[in-house]
Amino acid sequence: MDKLKLKLQEYYQRCQQPDLRTKAGREEAGGAVVLEMENDILLQFGLPTSKRFVQILHDFASHRQLSDQLLDYVSKKLRAAARRYLLAPVISDIDQLQQAAEQKRSPYDLLPEMGYPVNDFSIFLISEILYRRNMPAEEVLEELKKAQHGDVWDDLLSLNNVVNYTRHELYNRLRMQDLRMMDDYLQSVRRQEKVKATKKETPDTEGYTPNYRMVSKILVEDIVFDEHANPSLIGKLKAGSRLSKITISMEMTALHMVLVSAGEKGARISTLLKKSKQHPPVIDLRTELGDVLTLDNCYLEVYKPQHKRGQQWVEPKDSVYYLHKILSKKEFEKKSKEEEVKQKIQECLDLIGGSYGYYQRMRKLGITDEEAKLRAGLQDELLFKLSTFLHKLKD
């Protein structure tokens, strides 16, 4: 086995380590070794560590099993990518930036191919200054060159962690590099931190896949307000003759939509909330309406927030849910029909894919190709091709 294949094999085995399968794990100490290996492998082909070339290695590492065929395949793919990249016409940095602005190319591809590091400041220059603010490519290139010449990338990251950065000696030293966009960048970082601090935790930001559940026929008893959290509906969920406790947290706009869907009584509470300057901690709906408020004219798609226990995401055992989506009865019926049709289509595809396995068994028994297709129900050429592809997907 040649050195390249040994390197690829080592890279594959390193990526299979449990702590390196997540993005967070790759960004920690163990991930630094993987990044270095990616750089070494791509360098052997004369390729930069841009996203599109690194993706070839990520796809390779995502295969379940390592084999000689897989090593040959990824080697050929890297060689082909290198051939296209190295034989492509030479484009000046200005032209690359101008084309990138038109096409909105990923900075993770553009920067390495221009010879610049993928760094918070360099990404800011491309994504914010060039793409969003439409600053001339010449000025962006000049700023990149100054940052590269002064090797300020790590210093700027360090300055991000300083509260009063303008008083720090590092700031004064960096100003001597005449970086025009430095202050814009540092202020932008602080704005983003403020947004993150006020942004609520969601499945996307936390990194788990929630178990969505559709609920209706809720008997709402109380609406609870908290200055540090979204309002919540507290009541009972009706399922046949059984009632179970439920709490659903939602944003204020969603709360008004849910109340209005409940008819005249719900609309009255919604109007009351809009008129009041300060909401009471709890609104007792029995006191306000003389009865509980029934929500049966819409469907609420809800989920339980999860927390990490060891390496697994788990749900709490309480009855607190977060609202994800509000669906009208018509929307719910449409979604249900779509899910039912998708399930039936999948069942049909599973049957067609399974027929190819039956066809193969017939062939192994010495039955002719034509007869085997007929017995498997695959005499139609298009159906046979579909069955072949579906069988390959299963494997």
Q: Which helix (H) or strand (E) holds 344?
A: helix 329-364
Residue 395: strand, helix, or coil:
coil
Q: Which long-range contacts (CB under 8 A, 24 or more apart) does 222-230 make?
A: 222/282, 222/283, 222/284, 222/285, 223/255, 223/269, 223/282, 223/283, 223/285, 224/281, 224/282, 225/279, 225/280, 225/281, 225/282, 225/283, 226/281, 230/200
**Which sequence spans correspond to the domains of the chain?**
3-87, 97-198, 213-330, 335-394
- What's the pLDDT tens digit per position in 298-308? 899 999 988 87
Residues 6+ apart with CB under 8 A from 53: 42, 47, 78, 81, 85
> Rounded distance, CA 22 to CA 38, Å?
16
- What's the pLDDT tens digit per position in 16-69? 876 555 544 444 445 678 888 888 999 888 899 888 898 999 888 888 888 888
- What's the pLDDT tens digit per position in 306-360? 887 777 888 888 888 999 999 887 887 787 788 888 889 988 888 898 898 899 9
Phi, psi of 161, rounded to the nearest 5 degrees: -90, 0
> Rounded distance, CA 307 to CA 353, Å?
39
Q: Which is it for strands 307-309 and 312-314: parallel, antiparallel or unpaired? A: antiparallel
Provide the token pair at 91.
Answer: 């484009």
